[in-house]
Amino acid sequence: MSVWDTESFILSLLAILSVIALYSHRRNNGFQSGQIPTVSTWFPLLGLDNGWRLYNNPTLFMEQMRQRYGPLYRFRVLGTSAIVIHHPYSLSQLERQTKELSPHLPFEGAAQAGSGKANVHRIVEILMNELVPITGREFSRQRMKDSGLKSRFHEELEKEFDQFSNPSGTTVLLSEFLRQTLYRATGIVIFGPEFPAESYDDIKATVPDISFLASRLSHLPWSKTGRARDRLLNFVIEYIRPWWEADGHSTKELSGVMVEGLVTMKEAGLSLPDAAAVLLPLLWGIHSNIWFHLYWMLAQIILDEDLLIRAQNEARSGKDITEMRLIESVMWEALRWPYSMQQLRRASEDLDVSFKGTRYFIPKDTWIISKLINHDSSIYEDPFEFKADRFLVNPSLPKPKTFGDGAHLCKGKQFALHQMPDFVVTVLRRFDVELVQRSGKDRKVPQSESNSFLPDISKFEEFTIKITPRASN
C-alpha cells in the first residue's frame, strides 16, 4: 500500500470516527439534565402531611401541586417515593422509552385477589397476553357492530327493567338499581345466557376490598370478604366446568368471547381453578368501572330538577341515542368529574427518561402516578365543579382520559361509552324518576366526595329513588 493510500485510509477512518463521535455526543447531550421538583413536607422521611392530603382529597392535592411545581413532581409517603405526571406529559411517553414500568402490577393484584394465591405469574401472563387482547377485539367498534353486542345488551337491559313494573312505583337505592340491573344484563351478554346472576351479592361485597383480597389476611376464617371471594370463584368454576370437562362439547351455551378465552386457557395448560381466577379480574373490571361513573351520571341528573326535565325531554324525543347531545355531555362530565386512581405503575429498575428535551432520573421502586387531564384547570374551567353542559357548550373540549393512557388503555372503553347513555336513556324513557331521600345533607355534592382510590361506590352518599313506569314509553 502506497503512502498516499495509507494516508487516505487513515483520513477516511478519522472522518468516520468523527461523525460517530459527533452523533454520540449529540445523542447523549441533546437533552438537558433536570431535577424533578420535590413537594415540601414537615416530615422528610415519612411525608405524613402529604400522605394525608393525598388520601383526603387526591384531585385537589395533585392539581395544587401541578400549579406550584409544574407537570412533573415527586413526594414521599410513608417512606415511599412517588412521582406524579400531568399533561402534557403522559404515561404513554414513558412506556415508549422503557419497559421497566411493571405494567403487570394492576393485573397481579387482581389475580392475587381472585385466586387467593401469592404466586400468580402464570395467571397474569395468560390474562395480559391472551385474555386482554381477546376482550379488546370483542369490544372494538367494528366487532361490536358485526356481533350485535350493543343491541343484545339493550335487549337484556329492557328485560331487567321489566321487574320494576309496579304501576304505583318502586322505591330502591340508586346504587342497587344500577348495579344489579347492569350486572345481570352485562353478565348474560358477555359470558352467556346461563351466567349465574345469583353471584351478584358476592361481586358487590368483593369490589370494595380487592386490595385486601390480595393479602393473606383474606384467608382468615372470620373474613367475610374472603369467603365472598371464595364463593364467587366457585360460581365461575361451576359455570365453566361443563365446557371445560367436555373439551368444548358441552351443551351449555356460552358467548363467543367466553369460548375463545376458554380455548386459549385450555391450550395453555391452565387448571380449571386457575382459568376461573383469570376470569374473575375481568368480571371485576367490567363492572366496577361502569358502576362508578354511571352512579354519578344518574345522581347528578336526579339532584338537579332542571337537568332531569331536560334529560327526560331529550330521552323521550325519539332521537337516536347518538344524537342526544345533552346526555352525551352529562356522560363525559360524569367520566371527568369523579376520580379513581387507576393509572399506577412502579419502576422495576432505575429509569433514565426524557420529557420535552430534558432528561430525568427515576430510581428503582418509585411509584408513578399518571394524573391525566380530567381536573387540569388549564384545560377545564372550574374543574372541580360538575357542569352538565360543559361538553355541550364547548364540543371541542378534549374528552377526559378516564379510560387510561398508554399501553394499558381500558379495552372495554367503547362498550362502556355505549352502556352509559343506553342505560340512562332507557330509564328516562320507561320511567318517571323521583329522588325520595338522600343520606347526606341537602346540598351540592363536592368533588372531594366523589374520589375513590378503587372504583367503589359503596362509600358514597346514598340516594333513594322512586321509579314509576310511564303510561306511554
pLDDT band at 19 (very low <50, low <70, confident <90, very high): very low
pLDDT band at 100 (very low <50, low <70, confident <90, very high): confident
Q: Residue 470 pLDDT > 90, yes or no? A: yes
Q: From CA 89, how far away is CA 68, in angstroms rounded?
A: 16
Give CA angle at 164 (158, 170), nearest 5°: 145
Q: From CA 340, how far away is CA 289, in angstroms rounded?
A: 9
Give the per-residue pLDDT at 90. 84
31-469: CATH class: mainly alpha
Q: From CA 163, how far away is CA 433, in angstroms rounded?
A: 15
pTM of the predicted protein model: 0.88
Instruction: Find cell 399533561 and name the residue.
Output: 87
Asked if residue 410 belongs to a known ligand binding site, the reply is: yes
Give the per-residue pLDDT at 18. 44
pLDDT band at 87 (very low <50, low <70, confident <90, very high): confident
C-alpha cell at 251: 351443551
Average confidence (pLDDT) over 423-442: 93
Q: From CA 358, how far away is CA 350, in angstroms rounded?
A: 17
CB environment 124-142: b (16+ within 10 A), e (fewer): bebbbebbbebbbebbeee
* Phi-psi group of 120: left, alpha or beta (phi > 0 → left; psi -120 to 50 → alpha; rest → beta): alpha
β-partners of residue 432 are 468
Give the per-residue pLDDT at 83. 93
Side-by-side strand order, sheet with 344-346: 72-77, 80-85, 367-370, 344-346
Q: Residue 31 pLDDT > 60, yes or no? A: no
Q: Residue 306 pLDDT > 90, yes or no? A: yes
pLDDT band at 17 (very low <50, low <70, confident <90, very high): very low
Give the per-residue pLDDT at 405. 67
Query: Could you state, in order of their start, the residue ranges of all structural domains in the chain?
Result: 31-469
Lowest mean pLDDT among 28-37, 152-161, 375-384: 28-37
Q: Residue 44 pLDDT > 70, yes or no? A: yes
Lowest mean pLDDT among 198-212, 343-357, 415-429: 343-357
Distance of CA 151 to the CA centre of its chain: 24
Q: Is 187 exposed, middle or buried (0-12, 13-18, 19+ CB in 10 A)?
A: buried
Q: Residue 355 pLDDT > 60, yes or no? A: yes
More confident residue, 280 or 250: 280
Tell how many helices (H) and how many strands (E) occur in the chain.
19, 12
Q: Residue 472 pLDDT > 80, yes or no? A: no
Give the per-residue pLDDT at 386. 96
More confident residue, 193 or 17: 193
